[in-house]
Chain A
């Protein structure tokens, strides 16, 4: 459905992204993961037609964002990291305004639907949040207003840039629950970026990890976990001999002996079967992948642990 091909963007001499490639199928929920300045926001802004790419292209159902911007934008609901709000407007008026400029034929009905979808009918200080001035709302509610404007034209694709950033833990949970509902209700395609790995695990089917403007990995979370890293195994006897045997394996990078026959093996890809086979003669007690998503992320992005 969405095809990002060799996407590059430079701001003067600074290369924000370079040769970004990924695809997203209809109904898929994909997380963009990467450190600050990795190029996630730039990729999302190009995808939504807010800015143009220096090279490469983004297509949705074969339509290029730069060739058919109006059609493509009508398919996308975009929530930037800082919600694009007019603080002096009443929530309902703002969402109706967003619906009108997005070409919705009945903005009043569409706004009401979006208000219900994101829970803005809830009572805040004796009045529904939808009837309050945006500037008077908490950050969590402002985020909901931002989500409502992204949803108001019932887009097929939802692009969310760090939707829970800057929220307190309670607000974060509320928005995350809302995102889980939105992502898994209907056949909406969702692309979201976040720093919070638990969010990725809770919401996303697949992850695209971006670092220094390039895609460094993209796969399902399970496959990423199995793609390599550290294996922890325990044997009954002769761990030193096993270490020697493991060193002969091509995929093994380093080995480290610990107490009680525990060995930590670093591998370039999932080699558990090979390691288990090598360890069997030494009385293999247990073997498992030790890396979590966090370790994988840190390893791939080269971020300091």
Chain B
């Protein structure tokens, strides 16, 4: 485990010593802050209008009208940024041959993959914590449901963890970071949009494809509904991609 943590620490440090890492972080802070400002001002207009309308007043909900849409937007931002975070994880090691250090050390391919993954997740977690002050503002202005806020964070974090797992696999498939980025983004987009499969394809095939989609599982979690099936979906999704990445690294040894 010490080797895994050392790889994770090095990887995390690597994000903060490259322009790409800072670009992703600053990009996330600016875009999520922009959306937060936009949605908050829209919400305040709606809340003011609702104050004069007793029927609407009952329906105004900070959780449903602001917090959940904000985290849904954050997930879309992560969908865009995650492939840029994960693209260098293994592709860069292969390109600059530092993979030889890892492969000639007494550690397994699984340890290499897990270390890389945890490092990237450390960065994503740090990125998500930049939204905490925004939530702090909501607590200052109103009374958000802490359960909903926490489940939104959990859902977004699990979502990001899934994105990174997909990106790690595409990063293991090539030495070229741009190819890894495009592959990762394309794959994530397909997995994201599969939710619409049952509207295009009828029958069980459509249902199964829709069930594979991240979006359908994300919705439930965002509402604060912690179904074990959704948790199981994300955990097995991540495990599958980490396993596939490990196999890819093994194949690199044996190709």
Contacts and interface: CB of A to CB of B under 8 A. Distances in A.
B99 interface: yes
Contact of A82 (B17, B97, B107, B253): B97
A1 to B, nearest CB: 18
B106 A69 contact: yes
A199 B255 CA distance: 33
Contacts of B6: 97, 100-101
A50 B98 CA distance: 12
Interface string A47-72: 01111100000000000000001110
A70 B106 CA distance: 4
B244 interface: no
Contacts of A74: 106
A101 B6 CA distance: 7
Contacts of B143: none
B10 A88 contact: no
B97 A49 contact: no
Which residue, of B17, B101, B102, B103, has the highest number of chain A Cβ atoms within 10 A? Answer: B101
A193 interface: no
Contact of A101 (B3, B14, B254): B3
A7 to B, nearest CB: 15
B228 interface: no
Contacts of B255: 11, 51
A97 to B, nearest CB: 5
Given A50-B253, A84-B100, A101 B7 contact: yes
Contacts of A287: none
A80 B107 contact: no
Contacts of B97: 80, 82-84
Contact of A85 (B96, B103, B254): B96
A218 B90 CA distance: 38
B13 interface: yes
A292 B31 CA distance: 69
Contact of B107 (A85, A87, A101): A101
Interface residues on B, range: 20 to 34
Nearest to B6: A100
B104 interface: yes
A103 B3 contact: yes
A268 to B, nearest CB: 41
A268 B201 CA distance: 78
B229 interface: no
B105 A101 contact: yes
Nearest to A94: B10
A100 B104 contact: no
A50 B106 contact: no
B177 to A, nearest CB: 15
A73 B254 contact: no
A141 interface: no
Contacts of B17: 88-89
A149 interface: yes
Given A70-B106, A87-B96, A89-B13, 15 more contacts: A48-B103, A50-B100, A51-B103, A73-B105, A74-B106, A78-B100, A80-B97, A82-B97, A84-B101, A86-B98, A89-B14, A89-B17, A93-B13, A100-B2, A100-B3
21 contacts: A45-B100, A48-B103, A49-B103, A49-B104, A50-B253, A51-B254, A69-B106, A71-B106, A73-B106, A78-B104, A80-B97, A82-B96, A82-B97, A84-B100, A84-B104, A86-B14, A97-B10, A98-B105, A100-B2, A101-B7, A103-B3
Interface of A: 11, 45, 48-52, 69-71, 73-74, 76, 78, 80, 82-89, 93, 97-98, 100-103, 149
Interface of B: 2-3, 6-7, 9-10, 13-14, 17-18, 96-108, 253-255
Q: Which 10 A-B pairs have the closest CB atoms?
A: A84-B101, A100-B6, A70-B106, A73-B106, A88-B17, A84-B100, A78-B104, A50-B103, A84-B98, A48-B104
